[in-house]
Amino acid sequence: MSGPVIRSATNADREKVRALIFAVLDEYGLDPAPKTTDKDLDDLEGFYAGGAFDVLETSEGDIIGTVGLLPLGDGVVELRKMYLKPAARGRGHGKRLLNHAIKRAKELGFRRIELQTARVLEEALGLYAKYGFAHSPEAALERRCDQALALDL
């Protein structure tokens, strides 16, 4: 039996992706925003055109992780929706998703990755710091985020 694989998401994955993301948000006391911040989950293929939205999937078809790259213009891409199910954490899957996203951003020709996150997501903040993401004070934050980070590629 092989480990989980990273593959491009399709709109057929929407409900599984939404369920995973909303469950993680709930776990950390963050509010889902289906009409604003999380509207992208209605059309994964269209919203992320020019970038990517990928899932980490087990051989049984269970989506255990997600990561998106949304083009912002001028060579900048936003890392969005990087989440893992609780049972998938602590196994290197977060590093794998982040490595994949950075590699993919470079392949797509982006020169900078920006992201927004929340202080309560301590594991994610630690991971981003290890990869060299630095605070980006000029960003306008989404309502559930209190941290903006960026990495020049």
Give 48-74 pLDDT, tens digit per residue: 999 999 999 999 999 999 999 999 999
What's the pLDDT score for residue 92? 95
Structure tokens, 35: 């009409």
3-state helix, strand, coil in the chain (%, to 5): 35, 30, 35
- Assign 1 a pLDDT band (cuts: 50, 70, 90): low
| Contact between 105 and 113 (Cβ < 8 Å) | yes
Query: Is the pLDDT confidence value at 141 over 90?
Result: no
**56: part of which helix (H) or strand (E)?**
strand 52-57
Give the pLDDT confidence of 72-128 residue by residue, as tens digits. 999 999 999 999 999 999 999 999 999 999 999 999 999 999 999 999 999 999 999
Structure tokens, 1: 């039996």
| Contact between 103 and 70 (Cβ < 8 Å) | no
What's the pLDDT score for residue 142? 85
Helix (H, G, I), strand (E, B) or coil at 31: coil
SS (H, E, C) 107-136: HCCCCEEEEEECCCCHHHHHHHHHCCCEEC
Question: Strand pairing of 76-84 and 52-57?
Answer: unpaired
How far is the C-alpha of 56 from the C-alpha of 20, rounded, in Å? 11
Is the pTM higher than 0.75? The answer reads: yes
How far is the C-alpha of 152 from the C-alpha of 147, rounded, in Å? 17
Between these two residues, 1 and 135, which has the higher pLDDT value?
Answer: 135
Strand order across the beta sheet in which 76-84 lies: 5-8, 52-57, 63-73, 76-84, 112-117, 147-152, 134-135
What's the pLDDT score for residue 48? 98
Query: Is the pLDDT confidence value at 2 over 80?
Result: no
